Structure 1
């Protein structure tokens, strides 16, 4: 990877080709996630917005297994979510945001969900998006994922996360500064 003048990461042609092969294979294998969507159209959009490949690469590199889950007809954008069975391995053991990280006096985690997502150029899933994802398969049966926390909850020091147990999606709360080996975050990207 290299950086161009605008400080945006760029993949090498080989990295781009490998990523597109991976995305296509996952797309074909999981047709139930994007019924009525054709890979040729997704590919054309990715090729027209090459800058989004770096974000997808980061989603893939950190274990998210991104896949198309929807098409927004109003904007003409394809929507990718992290579709790994469990919360992405490369994004676990992190607290919710910078304020939470700074509030810890000792045993600080390496990072936080909000800043990692911003660096990657993706958005942390909302609770609603997380519930939509769960309609496409079984996710987070052993792990949990931070989700975008409403400002009123965050203002009081909390953050929310979700998982799926007993064939049911649960939303929970925790102090935003908490972190666990089995909790990460899932993201979305519009292309």
Structure 2
């Protein structure tokens, strides 16, 4: 079985690039030292990454450049939607958690959704970095990568922002809520 290449049709690529450019220009505080022309050139050379950004976009993530890694020559995108992306809510943490539910199973899980999109869940550190750029998840929460020792015991962690503070909480990995999704990152 051949793997299907993840590539957007030309018209959709151009539309996505316009959306990303407009967001980039509107939110220069997130990437003051970065030039859009260089970002666009990287995106055009990496069609699968552009496909992943489109997946972030269509699920409500509003991806934007938040950093540039000089060592690896990569631009780093995070979901920058005000609240946890709507198209990625009501999911438990991972497949093991999903399979452990006896009833009322959600449709999916955060880890597998992220992998299918070609992105990674934010780490707690990345989530805190994102919160330096604005106020996110004031009404929702987002699963973040959970340390193996916590996951091994059945738990998972998530974050939100309340009272002008970023909080990290725990829950059973099998839990899911209408107001909890996940935010992703992508390196291009």
The answer, yes or no, to whether TM exceeds 0.5 is: yes
Which residues in structure 2 correspond to 1:23-42 (within 5 Å)?
23-42=20-39
Distance of 2:19 and 2:114 partners within structure 1: 21
Which residues in structure 2 correspond to 1:135-150 (within 5 Å)?
135-150=132-147
**Which runs of 5 or more structure 1 residues have no equivalent in the other structure?**
none
Describe the SS at the equivalent of 2:47.
coil
Distance of 2:150 and 2:177 partners within structure 1: 20
Describe the SS at the equivalent of 2:115.
helix
Work out which of the residue numbers 149, 160, 163 in structure 2 matches 1:163. Answer: 160
1:8: how far off?
2.4
**Which runs of 5 or more structure 2 residues have no equivalent in the other structure?**
none
Describe the SS at the equivalent of 1:51.
helix
What's the C-alpha RMSD, in Å, of the aligned pairs?
0.6
- Deviation per CA, 1:136-169: give whole Å up to 9, x if none: 0010000000000000000000000000000000
1:108: how far off?
0.2
Residue 85 of structure 2 is matched in structure 1 by 88
Which residues in structure 2 correspond to 1:68-107 (within 5 Å)?
68-107=65-104
Distance of 1:109 and 1:47 partners within structure 2: 36
Describe the SS at the equivalent of 1:107.
coil
Over 3 Å off, 4+ runs: none
1:181 aligns with 2:182: no
